[in-house]
Amino acid sequence: NAPHFGLIGLGTMGGALALNIAEHGYPIAVFNRTPAVTDSFMQEAGPLAARLVPTKTLAELVAAITPPRAIILMVPAGPVVDQQVKALAPLLQKGDLIIDAGNANYTDTERRVAEAKDQPYDFMGIGVSGGEDGARHGPSIMAGGTVAQWDRVGEMLQAISAKYEGEACAALMGPGGAGHFVKMVHNGIEYADMEMIAETYALMRDGMGFDSTGIAETFEAWNKGPLASYLIEISGKVARAVDPISGGPMLDQILDAAGQKGTGRWTVIEAQKLAVAIPVIEAAVVARNLSAQVKARKHGAEVFGPQPQPLPKGALDTTVLEQALIAGKILCYAQGFDMLSRAAAEFSWDLPMPTIAKIWRAGCIIRSAMLNDMATALEKTPGENLIFAAPFTAMVKQNEAALRQVVIAATAAGIAVPALAAGLSWFDSMRTPRGSANMIQAQRDFFGAHGYERLDGKDAPHGPWWTNPQG
Ligand code: 6PG
């Protein structure tokens, strides 16, 4: 029963993934740079230790795996991946495969795949979502690579993945960096989902005077309706949690400065490169950036007077808030899926759009009830923006007024709701047949003779703004 699989990096995620693989009947050799980590990992592995082969050097690891080998890297994204690949390369032979399962930037994955072309090993990048619990008991896996590579490792990846009504949440997204690209957009959406939930929390706490119990009860109730999702569920749990030190709500003791490792930012950068509008995700990234400016925000309150103010009595209720969040969520996913289909066209990837929604239904951080309907919509109306696909058109119509009401009330009270507001603005733009960009075109032509198109289709080289026709 010699392993074909190996795994490097026994941190929280790597260790959990190795145990998951072993549990599904695949023997696996493991290695960690610090041998003590491997020792304690083996001690805690229990009966699964029988399928794990601990190794102390990279050479030992490679020797412990029967060719053709597939070695999973679970090391920090960035230069560490390159260092590992460089150290492994001389030990590998033709047919061996390195799988980067970290949160790599997809451009790095593209580069590494290209570099592997002159090397004895093959390289593939897979996006893995679901945190520690997902890695241990079933993540969502967005694989990038060739069909031949997928044929080699797809069965194992599907076996260890989460299941939605028996369907594996692991699939091949496309070649090269496609898997990591889809994971990046997943994370962008994750940022936006989290931000919009945080905005409704702010409205409840600062605008409506809810205590932590009221907030927890609201999220718990929402989790039984159309918003049912992992992130709403954990938000309820977070709101219920008690601080062991003060005995008060845990949330009230946590500094309001969000961390970020960069995947949300990458999504925004790539969207700009593709000229795709994903304003809800952008707003979520900006909100994290702003949250980190703790001192500046305190100074702002001193200079301009503190915001926010409580909402007038009866301005909002939790039903309106829930509807606004439903609308915001649909608008955000419409943007995220639009970005994916635009990337597919740009990079000549045949991204399997309905499958993406399907493998996000379980295992990953953004898993939600709504993703099942999104998968159906993307299947029935391929290439259509989600807001124009049934049943989402109807849901947007039903909930748009609530989103507007929430944004208006929040704005009046000075409660910042950047992601919800960005969603509404995008929606308003998306249904404005006569926008204001004619002004921009005229300005561009005025100062730079950039030209414009006329509505009546007649020839309109330039002007007539200049007294001198040459400008
Ligand atoms: C997942 C998550 C995960 C991510 C963390 C932290 O899908 O399991 O997206 O990959 O690393 O959520 O991300 P930030 O530190 O950027 O918030």
Contacts of 244 (CB under 8 A, 6+ apart): none
| DSSP classification of residue 70 | E
DSSP string of 31-42?
A: E-SSHHHHHHHH
Q: Would you state the pLDDT for residue 469?
A: 52
Q: How many angstroms is it from 466 CA to the middle of ligand 1?
A: 54
Work out the mean pLDDT of the chain and round it to a whole number. Answer: 97
Kindly report the pTM of this predicted structure: 0.97
Structure confidence by residue, pLDDT tens digits, 8-45: 999 999 999 999 999 999 999 999 999 999 999 999 99
Active site residue 183: yes
Averaged pLDDT for residues 442-460: 95
Q: Is 358 in the active site? A: no
The one-letter code for the residue type at 92 is L
Among the atoms of ligand 1, which is closest to the Cα of residue 190?
9
Contacts of residues 405-409 at CB distance under 8 Å and 24 or more positions apart, as own/partner, are 405/316, 405/320, 405/324, 406/203, 406/316, 406/320, 406/321, 406/324, 407/324, 409/203, 409/207, 409/311, 409/315, 409/316
Angle at 188 between CA 185 and CA 193, to 5 degrees: 125
Distance from residue 74's CA to the centre of ligand 1 (Å): 14
161-192: per-residue pLDDT in tens? 999 999 999 999 999 999 999 999 999 999 99
Among 44, 56, 155, 190, the active-site one is 190
207 neighbors 320 (Cβ within 8 angstroms): no
Compute, in angstroms, the gap from residue 233 CA to the centroid of ligand 1: 17
Pocket perturbation via mutation, ligand 1, pick of 74, 100, 103, 126 by most ligand atoms within 8 A of CB = 103
Q: Parse the chain into domains and list their residue ranges.
A: 5-176, 183-430, 442-471
53 — pLDDT class (breaks 50, 70, 90): very high
What is the SS3 assignment for 144?
strand
Predicted ipTM? 0.97
Ligand 1 shell residues, CB under 6 Å: 103, 129-131, 187, 190, 259-261, 263-264, 364-365
**CATH tag for 5-176 (out of 2.60.40.10, 3.40.50.720, 3.30.2130.10, 3.40.50.300):** 3.40.50.720
Q: What pLDDT is attached to residue 467? A: 67
What is the third-level CATH fold of 183-430? N-(1-d-carboxylethyl)-l-norvaline Dehydrogenase; domain 2 (1.10.1040)
Of 261, 289, 360, best ligand 1 pocket probe by most atoms within 8 Å of the beta carbon: 261
Provide the pLDDT for residue 13: 97
Residue 43, judged by CB atoms within 10 A of its CB (0-12, 13-18, 19+), counts as exposed
Q: What angle do CA 352, 358, 363 make, to 5 degrees?
A: 125
Same fold, 5-176 and 183-430: no
Residue 135, pLDDT above cutoff 80:
yes
Q: Which amino acid is residue 230, in one-letter code?
A: Y
